[in-house]
Amino acid sequence: MSDHALRLLREQPHLAELAAFPFNFDLTRADHGEAVRLASGGPLEAVAGDDTGGTYFVCGDGSVLYADSEGSAGIIGNSVDEALEVLVGLPGWHDYLGLAPADGEEKIRAAVAETEEEIREYHGIDDERTELRAGLGLPERSSVELIGLLHAALLRTEPDFLLLNAEEGGAHALLDRHPRPPLWEAVLARGRTDLTLLREGSAWVEVAEDRARRALALRAAQFDRREGDLPLLRHLLRHEAEASMTDELRLAAVLVGLHGHAEDLPLLYEVRETDFDTWCGLGGMPEPGADPAELRRWARDLDDSLFGTDPADEPLFTWTGLAHEQGLVELARAALIRRLDDIDFRAYCEARDGKAMERRDASQLSTLVHEFEQLGDTFQALRTQRLYVPLQTRAWDRVSALLRLARLEREEGRFGAAIRTLASLRDTLAEPDGGAGDSDGDNSLGHWQRTNLGAYIVEEHYALARTAAIDTALADEVRAVTVAAGELLTRLSGTARANVERHLAGTTDIRTDTRTDTRTDVHADTGANAGAGVSAEPTPPQPSAG
């Protein structure tokens, strides 16, 4: 993208003065006043500002992002040259953020004329505009053309140019309020194309053997159901079974079952018997030889409870997961950050009013952490986990949540915070009821030493001690973590301790293997699901209050 005009402004003070006044693009006001960054991690350079506290940033592709002082931001041009065309040609551009080419030439010209007449009451713009355009080599465009450029640029803001507060992680609001298509529409576009190809009899192999394309084609078939789709649904069902139990496998089975053909029962039964997960996930399915009406009833019940025909009814995480699978990472990230911002704001309002967080919000936080980690966005995962931890009332859940929080803090390089979090974790192990002296007690941690959770706790202590050692200012704290790790290790059961020691054996430093996908916010895994290789011994049933 061209930055010809920006170079001229930097080289010629007179042109820079004209840009600053009356067109409010001031090279001396490039300090935004607070740290910001793009959610995508892309480059961002502040180049100018205006007298309202707003700042103009140049992004990696040359696009110009404007951020105002009220927490809103938007792309206003594909390059500095284009942005300056808008600013010089529409000096009242802030008043036109709601205008679009669809409003028509008459309405656009009238709005621009009204604003410019108001500006002329205070200072000139016409001669100045002519001079600056000539000095920068900017073309003369009509107000209608310029509104078209501005409108198109604004619509490009999200997801690639979502602006965040660098410290807190919250996203800026959109500068304009033009409607955007829903997330599902962008995600489903490829699936609809592939579904059309399948119906035409082409791309059967390409779609069926590609996990992301197959899943999207099945989702497209969910919302556009046709009687003639049964052969392609059978084809996709067979291939989806290779991925084991997925939401799309269940969907494919439902879509086949809704046709109610008895000859499909052996296929469905074969798919169900693929492995243990599919056997559980497709439970209740009629056996071969059952009445077709029973098959249709089973499929209809699942369809009503889990699927349906309106994409707007699907959970957000369905679409963010599918977006991630097809490489639309920033689309998924932007949607997840917006959802987290909504939850965070409601939590703030509820805390201010002395209310508890709504259950539907609280239940989404753990999933949000997982989704952010899948995207590799530890920063937002950490922000989410901080909201999640205070909601845990059971000792086991608090310890699990604190453990995950410490890991995320360590991975983000916030070693001091991670050390404090592990100290809180140890306090909870020592006093599960928080020192309340509850006669009933909280026995959920009664056998933590014999579970995977215990092994994970010790391993995280060693991992933090090793990683945080690079910060010499934390030398005393790191030694304390190392001592605590040794003490916790001695408290583990024989099997758990042996497995942890095996990870540490043969090293001269404090070292452990850690997993980024450890699910420590649930009860201890058992059997084959024991992520650390520790034989989990389940907590015995707790006595009732009576």
Q: Which pLDDT score is estimated for 110?
A: 97
- CA–CA distance, 515 with 339 (Å, rounded to integer): 26
Q: Is residue 363 classed exposed, middle or buried when 0-12, 13-18 and 19+ CB atoms within 10 A define those classes?
A: exposed
Predicted local confidence at residue 440, as pLDDT: 57
Q: What tens digit of pLDDT does each residue of 285-315 get?
A: 999 999 999 999 999 999 999 999 999 999 9
CA distances from 170 to 27, 176, 315 (A): 27, 18, 22
SS3 assignment, position 545: coil
Q: Is the predicted pLDDT of residue 216 greater than 80, yes or no? A: yes
- CA–CA gap between residue 187 and residue 329 (Å, rounded): 11
CA distance 5 to 16: 10
By three-state DSSP, how is residue 194 classified?
helix
The residues facing 261 across adjacent strands are none
CB atoms within 10 A of CB 32: 17
pLDDT(180) > 80: yes
Q: What pTM value is reported for the model?
A: 0.89
Q: Which of 371, 419, 416, 361 is nearest to 391 (CA)?
A: 361
- The predicted-structure confidence for 422-451, as pLDDT tens digits, reads as follows 999 999 999 987 655 554 568 899 999 999
Helix (H, G, I), strand (E, B) or coil at 185: helix
pLDDT above 70: percentage of residues in the chain: 91
Q: What is the mean pLDDT of residues 152-161?
A: 98
* Residue 342 structure tokens: 């909504």
Q: Which position has the token pair 């505009």?
A: 129
CA nearest to 333, candidates 164, 212, 519, 151: 164
Q: What local confidence, expressed as pLDDT, does residue 533 receive?
A: 38
Strand partners, 119: none
Give the integer Cα–Cα distance in Å for 30 and 300: 60
pLDDT band at 339; cut points 50, 70, 90: very high
Q: What is the rounded average pLDDT of the residues 66-77?
A: 97
CA distance 104 to 185: 27
Cα dihedral 298, 299, 305, 307 in deg (nearest 10): 170
Backbone angles phi, psi at 173, to 5 degrees: -70, 160
Mean pLDDT of 216-244: 97
pLDDT of residue 210: 96
What pLDDT, on a 0 to 100 scale, did the predictor assign at position 2? 62
Task: State the Cα–Cα distance between residues 486 and 462, nearest whole angstrom.
Answer: 9
Contact criterion met (CB below 8 Å) for 175 and 97? yes
Reply yes or no on whether the pLDDT at 507 is more than 60. Answer: no
Whose tokens are 């592990």? That residue is: 422
The DSSP letter of residue 37 is: E
Q: Looking at residue 359, what is its pLDDT?
A: 83
The residues near 514 (Cβ < 8 Å, ≥ 6 apart) are: 407, 459, 460, 463
Distance in angstroms (rounded) separating the CA atoms of residues 389 and 403: 10
The letter for the amino acid at 215 is: A
For 180, the token pair is 């955007």
CA 44, 374, 271, 299 torsion: positive or negative? negative
Q: How far apart are the first and last CA of the chain?
A: 74
Phi-psi region of 335 (alpha: psi -120 to 50; beta: other; left: phi over 0): alpha
Assess whether pLDDT exceeds 80 at residue 57. yes
> What is the pairing mode between strands 173-174 and 72-77?
parallel
